[in-house]
Amino acid sequence: MTPSGNLVAGIIVALVVAASVNLGANPGLFIGGLPNLWIVAEEMIQVDPGLVPDALLAMAETIQMAFVGTMVGVAIALPMSLLAARNIAPAYVHAPVRALLAAVRTFPSILWAILFVIMVGIGPFAGILAIIMYTVGFVAKLQYEVIEAIDPEPMDAVLAIGASRLQLVRHVVIPESASHLLGQLLYMLDYNIRQTSILGLVGAGGIGFYVITYLQFFEYGKAAVFMLVVLASVLAIDWASTRIRDRYIVRPYSGP
Amino acid sequence: MDEGARPIGLRRIIQMNDVWATYGSGHALRGVSASIESGSNYAIVGRSGSGKSTLLRLMNGMLAPERGAVRVGYDVPDARGRRFRRTLRTIGYIPQNLGLVKNTTVLRNVLLGALPRLGAVQSALGRFPEGEVAEAERVLASVGLGGMGHRKAHALSGGERRRVAIARALMQHPTILLADEIVSELDPGTAREIMGLVSEAQRRTGLTAVMVHHDVSLALEYASRVAVISEGKKVLEIGVDGDSITDFQTGSQSTREAVEAYSRDA
């Protein structure tokens, strides 16, 4: 390492140590706390199998919420992504739309959930709305990046023969960007199911509500049933989406 | 019968007078004049970066000259302008990488050529009238891709992609076809097949072809005029009639070597 590299590394280490001292982050506490983890683990092992049907129902609710939220969110995100793409929309359209999307993305879904619980009350609907907001912000960004990266030549070729902007979008932009859409949809659904699992913490429905309730009453064994169901579901979804991806996603193409 | 293919009505269908233009980085034209006869095959050759593509983009108004004048028929080309739109519809354009939509079918790529004459609402739904679909299938058959309409464009060979691009242009009922190095990178046999398709379309419809070439021998074989562009200027323009080649600027006869010398990449 060069002398200046050593200096930079030294400064970073010093900053980490200083910040840790400020925050009272003491590694000794972590080591000392390990036995507590053991106690929790012991209680969690005492799984209550009678709760499995409840947990599966709660998971089904969670998946439905994530499904509705993802689909509606994507349906809103797609037209927004066209308006936000620099190579499609003029600056006076794409600049405000991008700013709006950036603002939407600033909040994590749990904050949206708190907001919607205040608006529409406790329950799955608030969770669905939160998922929609998060999905719109996220998918619209992914999708406008895809649109901005599509090959300019077909667009050029179609504009050069006098086609309209609308025709360009329908016949070039949508087909050229659609191949990424399935992948994004799967990714988002996968991600949203994980997210929806914790939205219950703020009362926005789903399996997280059970987890937080049992944890608050120190019923680790019962909470563990629900957490294991979440784990199993996420693994299953991960496996399924990998299979779908491998099967349907279009191979890239190179050259003219 | 073919509304779009009516001749624009001038013997000199494209005229350029002392045109200066810049496109991209350094692809500049510095005072080019040209006059292209209706129904002819006009070839443009030159080294990479000499300004050949720029010349084509001036002819369909995708680029405006900084100085000088361009006329197509009686019109000033302007791809964004409303007045030029009617003429633009009948100017086929095949860019260097063909500009096919890879992730859709061959048939839908050919139908793109019909877009300019379709209503905005109808085509926004993604449907094409049956008549247009039938015509696209006929045009595909005429370029040797009959029955291949359902294939995805990204699954085609290089020669097949060029056939699709030509079919898309023919769908426009073109009076002019602008093609940018569409037969470079092909083996000589396939390149001749593709050039044969263009010649055949010219015989059938009387369209004017303006083609940028990398390969001088193909230009001399198929074109009636060959313009050589070097560093943004037209340094040579020759007429080809069978084996006889005439240099219009000097009257010299032994110009084949000269054409090759100018257009060979250093």
Residue of B nearest to A251 (CA): B154
Please tell me the distance from the alpha carbon of residue B170 to that of residue A214, in angstroms, as a whole number. Answer: 71
Distance from CA of B83 to the nearest CA of A (A): 11
pLDDT digits (tens, 9 = 90+) for A127-155: 999 999 999 999 999 999 999 999 999 99
Asked whether residue A201 is domain-assigned, the answer is yes
B116 and A161 within 8 Å at the Cβ level: the answer is yes
Which of A146, A161, A164, A165 to mutate to probe the B interface, most B CBs <10 Å?
Answer: A161
| B101 touches A at CB < 8 Å | yes
Give the mean pLDDT of B231-242: 82
Q: Residue B179 pLDDT > 50, yes or no? A: yes
Q: Residue B250 pLDDT > 70, yes or no? A: no
Q: Residue B112 pLDDT > 60, yes or no? A: yes
- Of A97 and B7, the one with more pLDDT: A97
A170 and B185 within 8 Å at the Cβ level: the answer is no
Q: Residue B174 pLDDT > 50, yes or no? A: yes
A250 and B154 within 8 Å at the Cβ level: the answer is yes
| B97 touches A at CB < 8 Å | yes
Say what the pLDDT of residue B162 is. Answer: 92
Asked whether residue A10 is domain-assigned, the answer is no
Please tell me the distance from the alpha carbon of residue B128 to that of residue B134, in angstroms, as a whole number. Answer: 10
A161 and B120 within 8 Å at the Cβ level: the answer is no
Contacts of B115 in chain A (CB under 8 A): 158, 161, 163-164, 167, 171
| A151 touches B at CB < 8 Å | yes
Which of these, B199, B196, B216, B220, lies nearest to B208 by C-alpha position?
A: B199
Q: Residue B85 pLDDT > 50, yes or no? A: yes
B97 and A153 within 8 Å at the Cβ level: the answer is yes
Domain B3-90+174-263 has CATH 3.40.50.300: yes
pLDDT digits (tens, 9 = 90+) for A49-108: 888 899 999 999 999 999 999 999 999 999 999 999 999 999 999 999 999 999 999 998
Give the mean pLDDT of B227-244: 81
Of the candidate ranges A227-231, A249-253, B3-7, the one whose mean pLDDT is the lowest: B3-7
Q: Three-class SS string for A138-157?
A: HHHHHHHHHHHCCCHHHHHH
Angle B189-B195-B199 from CA coordinates, rounded to 5°? 140
Task: List beta partners, residue B225.
Answer: B42, B239
What's the mean pLDDT when you consider all of chain A?
89
Any idea where the domains of chain B sit in the sequence?
Answer: 3-90+174-263, 100-172
Of the partner residues B92, B96, B123, the one whose CB lies closest to the CB of residue A167? B123
How many helices (DSSP H) and strands (DSSP E) are in chain A? Answer: 11, 0
pLDDT tier at A220, thresholds 50, 70, 90: confident
Say what the pLDDT of residue B103 is. Answer: 87
Please tell me the distance from the alpha carbon of residue A152 to that of residue B237, in angstroms, as a whole number. Answer: 32
What's the structural domain count of chain A? Answer: 1
Asked whether residue A232 is domain-assigned, the answer is yes
The enclosing domain of A123 has a CATH number of 1.10.3720.10
Distance of alpha carbon A38 from the chain centroid: 32
Asked whether residue A60 is domain-assigned, the answer is yes
Percent pLDDT > 90 in chain A is 53
Residues in chain B: 266
Asked whether residue A1 is domain-assigned, the answer is no
Give the mean pLDDT of B116-134: 83
C-beta separation of B80 from B68 below 8 A: no
| Site of tokens 């398709």 | B197
Please tell me the distance from the alpha carbon of residue A58 to that of residue A47, in angstroms, as a whole number. Answer: 17
What's the mean pLDDT when you consider all of chain B?
85
C-beta separation of B201 from B211 below 8 A: no
Domain span including residue A99: 50-245
